[in-house]
A and B are shown apart, each in its own frame.
Chain A
């Protein structure tokens, strides 16, 4: 049993390496000039990451075409084993596992993405503003965020969900609000470094408006770390939402979602069935992929400075 698993693992790693290599060739071939050069020097891990992200996006977009059944229809007995009818068997209510997995890509990923985007926009704008304006505004915001950050994120979100109840829109907002505090910190720190530069002083002395100062002088110099932060934040948000769903207080049934799928079918694991690990694996593969890409971007950003 274990040997078989190890064999599978080795095979999939080999396949992943080959696929990443091929994907890099494709990228280099079909992308324009300088982008093509960038891809040519990208490490395989980053290509793997980009390939995985692309596949997830495609699966999410084409879910209705790919899924053999409706995700919330009961199509057979409970906990059916893998078969040609149901490639990955059925779940605790008799719904097709593969279909739910495919739709999960759409639901889980888009909810996490939306949450991250809100957190990011809010946190970045406030962070940039605080760093640029400085003075009491910066002090007030920063001290407030300092306190918010000392409440562990998962615990804080559990508290807020107790208060507001568990619906998807509330979930998205709660996670966005909590994570925006973390984004604020990073955006402010990055912007403070930029604001200390003489060219910002020169722009201030020239009489530039606050808007132009932020959008034209500061933001272009903060994009590299901010984009990387977006990737990292997405991972954290994605994991947090999955954890909450797994705990039964996140995305609610019957929505097909990877975190809750693990929870609903966990009992199978103790019988040696790995099916419930698949949705968890989907989560893990995407976060690993995003992390690989972020690592590459951070490395590139620091390499260019030298």
Chain B
């Protein structure tokens, strides 16, 4: 795919300013961005949270969300200025000439109507096709999108269809009027990697087949690299730079872009293998656990050694977070037990003594909900030190300051702040400090970086790594992200549907031969190489089309 320099301009956004209302004041969300697109071209919009990429994507349809407004610029689509034209004219274009694919298909399909009815709504109401033709065409699109039972799936309601399938059905719906342009707003962000790759393949295929222009919005550079001809990088509502995909990947110009790229390559030095005779700090021994009558974990066993990191990796529903609940004593295992320093921990946390509680600390995924918003950092961090170690007065204050310095926050500036006065990354650091305050031997990190932007996440990983080296901590690192595993793990446990499919040292697990599921997981992670999806698409086409 190369950009078509001599094709006519389909879309032209000039000097777009968009404001959003917060606490009664209008603040700019998008500041003077220019954007243009040729027919059949795919532009990738990339940026971290707050970059304004979704706002800009919607602006291409002449649309702003409630509480937002255009405050300058023009949006020309096929020589119609969408900011000046009538509502009726905009409605005529939306859906028919410019279609939208939302991040969460489950929330964006109307729960009250069947998929095919929602599919046919656009072509019928825009007068493109009759209802029968639209339905027949819909089934054809479902087939092209590789949905199972394409002739029947349309008669289901949204809640009867899985997330990945819904996302494909939504792309099919966007195609129903054969629009000139589709806006993809983070269409795979909410999906697991093995589902994501199927959706990516389907989107890529259909966009190429119909030669549709697209704006592909994502925070994941590797994903955008597969889909886009050109990439535009945004930061806080402003453009950082724009270039063709390959140029952008190989020679980013701006520092911000370079740092964004560099995050992907972070990896800790490989530590030497463990001496065989060293006793384990934590042993999970034959644990089977269930919610009600449904087993969520089956026969899980693994050891965590002092100053080592065990990464538990799996997709949603794999039971990886349940392991944390069993270790901390929030969920009693049905069979099996957890041992700390060779001694059995009682199944429920309320039955454990204070010393046992102190030894195992936890850091959460959502730093927002993990810190009490009404307490100041002084108390959040001080409480475990006061409670477990009996520190008081000056000693306690000194300890709190030391902890803040450990997580690289200036004590005088931060001691008396509330969590709401911190950024996302700072909150996560405070979560770490709270865990450290107990002076534990083991910290369970439950998806601690997945809610953070990549650069911030990298900082947190480096911090955890440094603390491990300094304090000799052990980590159980629960994550869905293989890049994180690669970066920090010593040992890896791969889980699927409540069972361990593969476990061992990182080097062994990441080297072939793999368990088939591990192989699939590894193959599904998008690579920075822009040809990665094309290659996987070829394999995929062969395997799927040959029997038919």
Contact = CB atoms under 8 A, between A and B. Distances in A.
Direct contact of A and B (CB under 8 A): yes
Interface of A: 197-199, 201-208, 216-217, 220-221, 303, 306
Contacts of B374: 220-221
Given A197-B369, A217-B372, A202 B364 contact: yes
Interface string B365-386: 0100111111100000001100
SS of A interface (majority): helix
Contacts of B366: 198
A221 B369 CA distance: 12
B190 interface: no
Contacts of A202: 362, 364, 370, 434
Interface residues on B, range: 20 to 34
B521 interface: no
A206 B23 contact: no
With most chain B CB atoms within 10 A of its CB, the pick from A202, A217, A306 is A202
B22 A306 contact: yes
A207 B438 CA distance: 12
B330 A201 contact: yes
A159 to B, nearest CB: 41
Interface in B324-347: 328-330
B258 interface: no
8 interchain residue pairs of minimum CB distance: A220-B374, A198-B370, A198-B364, A199-B372, A197-B369, A198-B369, A207-B357, A207-B354
A207 B366 CA distance: 21
A207 B387 contact: yes
16 contacts: A198-B366, A198-B370, A199-B369, A201-B330, A202-B362, A202-B370, A202-B434, A205-B328, A206-B357, A206-B383, A207-B349, A216-B375, A221-B372, A221-B373, A221-B374, A306-B22
A204 B372 contact: no
B133 to A, nearest CB: 45
Interface of B: 22-23, 328-330, 349, 354, 357, 362, 364, 366, 369-375, 383-384, 387, 434, 438
Contacts of B23: 303, 306
A206 B370 contact: no
Contacts of B371: 199
Contacts of A206: 357, 383-384, 387, 438
Given A303-B23, A306-B22, A306-B23, A205 B372 contact: no
Nearest to B354: A207
With most chain A CB atoms within 10 A of its CB, the pick from B330, B374, B375 is B374
B80 to A, nearest CB: 34
A203 B361 CA distance: 11
Nearest to B360: A205
A204 B330 CA distance: 9
With most chain B CB atoms within 10 A of its CB, the pick from A201, A220, A221, A306 is A201
A202 B387 CA distance: 13
B364 A205 contact: no
A202 B357 CA distance: 11
Contacts of A201: 330
Nearest to A220: B374
Contact of B357 (A205, A303, A306): A205
Contacts of A197: 369-370, 372
Contacts of A217: 372
A202 B371 CA distance: 9
Contacts of A207: 349, 354, 357, 387
A54 to B, nearest CB: 26
Nearest to A204: B349
Contacts of A204: 349
A213 B23 CA distance: 32
A202 B435 CA distance: 10
Given A202-B364, A205-B328, A221-B374, 18 more contacts: A197-B369, A197-B372, A198-B366, A198-B369, A199-B370, A205-B330, A205-B357, A205-B362, A206-B438, A207-B354, A208-B387, A220-B372, A220-B374, A221-B372, A221-B373, A303-B23, A306-B22, A306-B23
Contacts of B369: 197-199
A306 B420 CA distance: 11
Nearest to A221: B374
Contacts of A198: 364, 366, 369-370
A306 B373 CA distance: 14
A205 B349 contact: yes
Contacts of B383: 206
Contacts of A216: 375
B386 to A, nearest CB: 11
A205 B387 contact: no
Nearest to A208: B387
With most chain B CB atoms within 10 A of its CB, the pick from A203, A206, A208 is A206
A208 B438 CA distance: 14
A296 to B, nearest CB: 13
A256 B434 CA distance: 59
B65 to A, nearest CB: 13
A221 B373 CA distance: 7
Contacts of B329: 205
B87 to A, nearest CB: 28
